[in-house]
Protein backbone atom coordinates (compact mmCIF):
# COMPACT_ATOMS: atom_id res chain seq x y z
CA UNK A 1 0.00 0.00 0.00
CA UNK A 2 1.17 3.54 -0.71
CA UNK A 3 2.26 5.40 2.41
CA UNK A 4 1.14 8.81 1.13
CA UNK A 5 -2.59 9.53 1.03
CA UNK A 6 -3.26 12.28 -1.48
CA UNK A 7 -5.44 15.03 -0.04
CA UNK A 8 -7.09 17.66 -2.21
CA UNK A 9 -5.12 20.87 -2.55
CA UNK A 10 -2.13 19.52 -0.62
CA UNK A 11 1.23 19.57 -2.41
CA UNK A 12 3.29 16.52 -3.39
CA UNK A 13 6.71 15.84 -4.84
CA UNK A 14 6.25 12.95 -7.29
CA UNK A 15 9.15 11.12 -8.91
CA UNK A 16 10.25 7.86 -10.47
CA UNK A 17 13.19 6.45 -12.37
CA UNK A 18 13.93 3.81 -14.95
CA UNK A 19 13.92 0.16 -13.98
CA UNK A 20 17.45 -0.70 -12.75
CA UNK A 21 18.27 2.98 -13.27
CA UNK A 22 18.04 2.57 -17.03
CA UNK A 23 17.71 5.53 -19.36
CA UNK A 24 14.07 6.39 -20.04
CA UNK A 25 14.64 9.22 -22.53
CA UNK A 26 16.98 8.27 -25.38
CA UNK A 27 16.14 10.88 -28.00
CA UNK A 28 14.76 14.40 -28.08
CA UNK A 29 11.50 12.90 -29.38
CA UNK A 30 11.28 10.79 -26.20
CA UNK A 31 11.54 13.86 -24.00
CA UNK A 32 8.97 15.66 -26.14
CA UNK A 33 6.53 12.75 -25.95
CA UNK A 34 6.71 12.69 -22.15
CA UNK A 35 6.26 16.46 -21.97
CA UNK A 36 3.25 16.19 -24.30
CA UNK A 37 1.78 13.53 -22.03
CA UNK A 38 2.26 15.75 -18.98
CA UNK A 39 -0.37 17.92 -20.62
CA UNK A 40 -2.60 15.37 -22.33
CA UNK A 41 -2.77 12.83 -19.49
CA UNK A 42 -3.81 15.54 -17.05
CA UNK A 43 -7.43 15.62 -18.09
CA UNK A 44 -10.75 13.86 -17.73
CA UNK A 45 -11.08 13.05 -21.44
CA UNK A 46 -9.45 10.17 -23.28
CA UNK A 47 -7.32 10.87 -26.33
CA UNK A 48 -5.53 9.22 -29.23
CA UNK A 49 -2.12 10.79 -29.70
CA UNK A 50 -2.00 10.04 -33.41
CA UNK A 51 -5.22 11.99 -33.94
CA UNK A 52 -3.89 15.21 -32.36
CA UNK A 53 -2.35 18.00 -34.40
CA UNK A 54 1.07 18.31 -32.78
CA UNK A 55 1.30 22.00 -33.65
CA UNK A 56 -1.83 22.60 -31.56
CA UNK A 57 -1.22 19.88 -28.98
CA UNK A 58 -1.03 22.18 -25.96
CA UNK A 59 -4.38 23.72 -26.93
CA UNK A 60 -6.10 20.32 -27.15
CA UNK A 61 -9.29 20.04 -25.07
CA UNK A 62 -8.29 17.38 -22.55
CA UNK A 63 -11.22 17.98 -20.25
CA UNK A 64 -11.08 19.00 -16.61
CA UNK A 65 -7.57 18.77 -15.10
CA UNK A 66 -6.85 16.04 -12.56
CA UNK A 67 -3.95 17.79 -10.88
CA UNK A 68 -2.27 21.17 -10.94
CA UNK A 69 1.41 21.02 -11.85
CA UNK A 70 3.73 23.64 -10.41
CA UNK A 71 7.11 22.38 -11.64
CA UNK A 72 8.69 19.43 -13.43
CA UNK A 73 12.04 18.25 -14.70
CA UNK A 74 13.00 15.31 -16.89
CA UNK A 75 16.43 13.75 -16.46
CA UNK A 76 17.92 10.94 -18.58
CA UNK A 77 16.80 8.19 -16.18
CA UNK A 78 14.22 9.83 -13.90
CA UNK A 79 11.69 12.63 -13.54
CA UNK A 80 10.33 15.01 -10.89
CA UNK A 81 6.86 16.56 -10.74
CA UNK A 82 5.46 18.99 -8.16
CA UNK A 83 1.68 18.68 -8.11
CA UNK A 84 -1.51 19.06 -6.13
CA UNK A 85 -4.67 16.97 -6.77
CA UNK A 86 -7.76 18.84 -7.93
CA UNK A 87 -10.17 15.89 -7.80
CA UNK A 88 -10.37 12.75 -5.69
CA UNK A 89 -7.97 10.18 -7.08
CA UNK A 90 -6.48 12.79 -9.39
CA UNK A 91 -2.83 11.97 -8.75
CA UNK A 92 -3.26 8.21 -9.20
CA UNK A 93 -5.30 8.61 -12.39
CA UNK A 94 -2.91 11.16 -13.88
CA UNK A 95 0.18 9.11 -13.09
CA UNK A 96 -1.38 5.92 -14.44
CA UNK A 97 -2.25 7.61 -17.74
CA UNK A 98 1.18 9.24 -17.93
CA UNK A 99 3.21 6.11 -17.14
CA UNK A 100 1.12 3.77 -19.27
CA UNK A 101 1.07 6.09 -22.27
CA UNK A 102 4.78 6.75 -22.17
CA UNK A 103 5.79 3.14 -21.49
CA UNK A 104 3.76 1.89 -24.45
CA UNK A 105 5.32 4.53 -26.69
CA UNK A 106 8.88 3.90 -25.46
CA UNK A 107 8.73 0.09 -25.63
CA UNK A 108 7.32 0.15 -29.15
CA UNK A 109 9.79 2.72 -30.43
CA UNK A 110 12.85 1.11 -28.87
CA UNK A 111 11.79 -2.50 -29.46
CA UNK A 112 11.74 -3.57 -25.84
CA UNK A 113 9.38 -5.34 -23.45
CA UNK A 114 8.85 -5.31 -19.73
CA UNK A 115 8.54 -2.62 -17.12
CA UNK A 116 10.12 0.72 -18.00
CA UNK A 117 9.85 2.31 -14.57
CA UNK A 118 11.10 1.12 -11.20
CA UNK A 119 7.74 0.09 -9.79
CA UNK A 120 5.01 2.58 -8.96
CA UNK A 121 5.82 6.25 -8.73
CA UNK A 122 7.19 7.62 -5.46
CA UNK A 123 5.76 10.61 -3.65
CA UNK A 124 6.43 12.84 -0.67
CA UNK A 125 3.93 15.11 1.03
CA UNK A 126 5.08 18.73 1.14
CA UNK A 127 4.29 19.58 4.73
CA UNK A 128 5.64 23.12 5.03
CA UNK A 129 5.85 26.35 3.10
CA UNK A 130 9.65 26.34 3.29
CA UNK A 131 9.80 22.84 1.83
CA UNK A 132 7.44 23.81 -1.01
CA UNK A 133 9.55 26.85 -1.88
CA UNK A 134 12.72 24.74 -1.73
CA UNK A 135 11.30 22.17 -4.17
CA UNK A 136 11.02 24.74 -6.96
CA UNK A 137 14.79 25.19 -6.75
CA UNK A 138 15.61 21.53 -6.10
CA UNK A 139 13.60 20.29 -9.09
CA UNK A 140 14.87 22.96 -11.47
CA UNK A 141 18.52 22.54 -10.43
CA UNK A 142 18.53 18.83 -11.30
CA UNK A 143 20.01 19.35 -14.81
CA UNK A 144 23.17 20.82 -13.28
CA UNK A 145 24.12 17.21 -12.46
CA UNK A 146 24.38 16.50 -16.18
CA UNK A 147 27.22 18.95 -16.73
CA UNK A 148 28.65 18.93 -13.20
CA UNK A 149 27.80 15.60 -11.54
CA UNK A 150 29.60 16.42 -8.28
CA UNK A 151 28.57 20.06 -7.96
CA UNK A 152 26.92 19.55 -4.58
CA UNK A 153 30.16 18.20 -3.13
CA UNK A 154 32.74 20.14 -5.12
CA UNK A 155 30.93 23.36 -5.91
CA UNK A 156 30.00 25.13 -9.14
CA UNK A 157 32.79 25.57 -11.65
CA UNK A 158 31.30 28.51 -13.53
CA UNK A 159 28.06 30.10 -12.33
CA UNK A 160 27.40 31.96 -15.59
CA UNK A 161 27.82 28.79 -17.67
CA UNK A 162 25.53 26.93 -15.27
CA UNK A 163 22.72 29.44 -15.68
CA UNK A 164 23.21 29.43 -19.44
CA UNK A 165 22.83 25.65 -19.46
CA UNK A 166 19.65 25.83 -17.38
CA UNK A 167 18.27 28.46 -19.77
CA UNK A 168 18.87 26.12 -22.70
CA UNK A 169 17.59 22.93 -21.04
CA UNK A 170 14.17 22.46 -22.62
CA UNK A 171 12.98 19.49 -20.56
CA UNK A 172 12.17 21.42 -17.42
CA UNK A 173 9.67 24.04 -16.34
CA UNK A 174 12.58 26.26 -15.31
CA UNK A 175 12.38 27.72 -18.81
CA UNK A 176 8.74 28.68 -18.23
CA UNK A 177 9.76 31.04 -15.45
CA UNK A 178 11.67 33.04 -18.04
CA UNK A 179 9.77 32.83 -21.34
CA UNK A 180 6.27 32.04 -22.56
CA UNK A 181 6.06 28.90 -24.70
CA UNK A 182 3.30 26.46 -25.61
CA UNK A 183 4.57 23.97 -23.00
CA UNK A 184 3.72 26.53 -20.32
CA UNK A 185 0.12 25.30 -20.59
CA UNK A 186 1.25 22.26 -18.58
CA UNK A 187 1.59 24.47 -15.50
CA UNK A 188 -1.10 25.88 -13.23
CA UNK A 189 0.85 28.59 -11.45
CA UNK A 190 -2.26 30.08 -9.88
CA UNK A 191 -2.63 26.96 -7.69
CA UNK A 192 0.77 27.53 -6.07
CA UNK A 193 2.14 30.35 -3.90
CA UNK A 194 3.74 33.16 -5.88
CA UNK A 195 7.18 33.03 -4.33
CA UNK A 196 8.93 34.80 -7.20
CA UNK A 197 7.18 37.75 -8.84
CA UNK A 198 10.02 38.56 -11.25
CA UNK A 199 12.67 36.68 -13.19
CA UNK A 200 15.30 38.51 -11.15
CA UNK A 201 13.86 37.20 -7.89
CA UNK A 202 13.91 33.66 -9.21
CA UNK A 203 17.50 34.04 -10.44
CA UNK A 204 18.53 35.27 -7.02
CA UNK A 205 16.91 32.27 -5.32
CA UNK A 206 18.60 29.79 -7.65
CA UNK A 207 21.96 31.53 -7.25
CA UNK A 208 21.61 31.42 -3.48
CA UNK A 209 21.23 27.63 -3.55
CA UNK A 210 24.09 27.17 -6.00
CA UNK A 211 26.47 29.42 -4.07
CA UNK A 212 25.43 27.88 -0.76
CA UNK A 213 26.33 24.42 -2.09
CA UNK A 214 29.53 25.86 -3.53
CA UNK A 215 30.65 27.04 -0.10
Per residue in 196-208, pLDDT (tens digit) is 888 888 888 888 8
- Alpha-carbon distance of 117 to 115, in angstroms, equals 6
> Quick check: is 2 in a domain?
no
Residue 115 lies in a domain: yes
Domain count of the fold of the chain? 1
Q: How confident is the model at residue 156 (pLDDT cuts 50, 70, 90)?
A: confident
Does pLDDT of 114 surpass 80?
Answer: yes
Q: Residue 78, SS3?
A: strand
Note whether residue 78 is domain-resident. yes
The torsion of the CA quartet 201, 204, 208, 210, rounded to 10 degrees, works out to 120
Q: Which domain holds residue 35?
A: 11-214
SS3 assignment, position 59: helix
Q: Is residue 146 part of a domain?
A: yes
H-run or E-run covering 16: strand 11-17
In a domain, residue 4? The reply is no
- Closest of 31, 38, 60 to residue 47, by C-alpha: 60
Is the residue at 6 inside a domain?
A: no
Asked whether the predicted pLDDT for residue 213 surpasses 60, the reply is: no
In a domain, residue 209? The reply is yes
Average pLDDT over residues 90-113: 96
Instruction: Say if residue 122 is exposed, middle or buried (CB neighbours under 10 Å; 0-12, 13-18, 19+).
Output: middle
**For the domain that residue 37 is a member of, what is the CATH number?**
3.30.70.1290
The pLDDT confidence band at residue 93, using thresholds 50, 70 and 90, is: very high
Residue 5 lies in a domain: no
Amino acid sequence: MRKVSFALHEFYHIYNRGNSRQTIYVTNADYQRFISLLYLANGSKSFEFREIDEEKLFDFDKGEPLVAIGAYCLMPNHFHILATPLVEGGVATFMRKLATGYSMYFNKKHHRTGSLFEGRFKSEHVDSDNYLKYLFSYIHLNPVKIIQPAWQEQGIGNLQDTFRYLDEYQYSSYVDNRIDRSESNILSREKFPEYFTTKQEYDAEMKEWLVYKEE
